[in-house]
Amino acid sequence: MFLILLHSPKGNIKNTHNHQNKTTTSFSKKGILLRKEETNLLLINNKKPLKSDDSLNTQLLIDKYKDDLIIIDLTKVDSKKLSHGQTIEIWFDELQESFPPKAMVEKYHIIMDK
């Protein structure tokens, strides 16, 4: 039987299941805020949306850019300054392995307005 331990040197998050501290690292990604609605989409990998993409619904955008998207949850941050088309950097502790991946944004920085 093999036991693999992963250790990361930054940050502490309380594990509510066994009440011990678990160490994790914050990650970041840069991209274009493709959609800011109920489902927020961050377009990554230096992809740029087409002007015609503005008329696509969320599911069509996910289908079109699925390999270059992260679905982001903005409920933990004040997202009033964010708008469609901005280039932003987001920080998150965990990237859920879904298709496309999902992340809860811990903080963000606007790099460039549209």
CATH number of the structural domain spanning residue 36: 2.40.50.140
| CA pair distance 28, 106, nearest whole angstrom | 10
Closest CA to 106 of 11, 9, 6: 11
> pLDDT value at position 70?
97
Residue 24 pLDDT level (bands cut at 50, 70, 90): low
% of the chain with per-residue pLDDT over 90: 74
Average pLDDT over residues 61-79: 96
What are the two backbone dihedrals, phi and then psi, of residue 40, each rounded to the nearest 5 degrees? -95, 130
Any domain includes 100: yes
pLDDT at 101 over 60: yes
89 or 1, which is more confident: 89
Any domain includes 66: yes
Cα 101 to chain center, whole Å?
Answer: 8
> pLDDT value at position 8?
38
pTM: 0.75
Number of domains within the chain: 1
DSSP 99: S
| 76 neighbors 92 (Cβ within 8 angstroms) | no
| CA pair distance 65, 96, nearest whole angstrom | 17
Structural domain boundaries enclosing 66: 25-112
> pLDDT value at position 51?
93
